[in-house]
Amino acid sequence: MLSSGGYTDVSHGGRTKLTRVDSARLAGILADGGLRGFGQLRGYGFATWCAREAVPCGGDTVMPYMFGVAVDVSGVCEP
């Protein structure tokens, strides 16, 4: 799960993160923000749901820094 933290108009994942998800054989990604590389997403073996396709990288706006904590996705908090 990737929470946008309120920054829903920028990308929260692209080639690097998504390749790691695929390599770890995770079931999927749920993001209330955008993801990049929809063409590449089709080739992965996991399910993906996101709010939109985001073209610009969000690295200058958001930076993931927590793992294994409860997140808020579209107003719903899931531990």
Query: What is the tens place of the pLDDT at every residue in 11-34?
Result: 778 888 888 889 999 898 888 888
d(CA 76, CA 7): 16
The pLDDT of 43-49, averaged and rounded, is 90
Q: Establish if 37 belongs to a structural domain.
A: yes
Q: Establish if 7 belongs to a structural domain.
A: no
d(CA 69, CA 12): 17
Domain housing 21: 15-78
Q: Establish if 2 belongs to a structural domain.
A: no
Q: Establish if 61 belongs to a structural domain.
A: yes
Q: Establish if 31 belongs to a structural domain.
A: yes
Q: Establish if 4 belongs to a structural domain.
A: no
Q: Are 78 and 71 contacting, i.e. CB atoms less than 8 angstroms apart?
A: yes
Total domains in the fold of the chain: 1
Q: Establish if 25 belongs to a structural domain.
A: yes
Q: Establish if 5 belongs to a structural domain.
A: no
According to DSSP H, which parts of 1-79 are helical?
15-23, 38-41
Mean pLDDT computed over every residue of the chain: 78
pTM metric for this prediction:
0.69
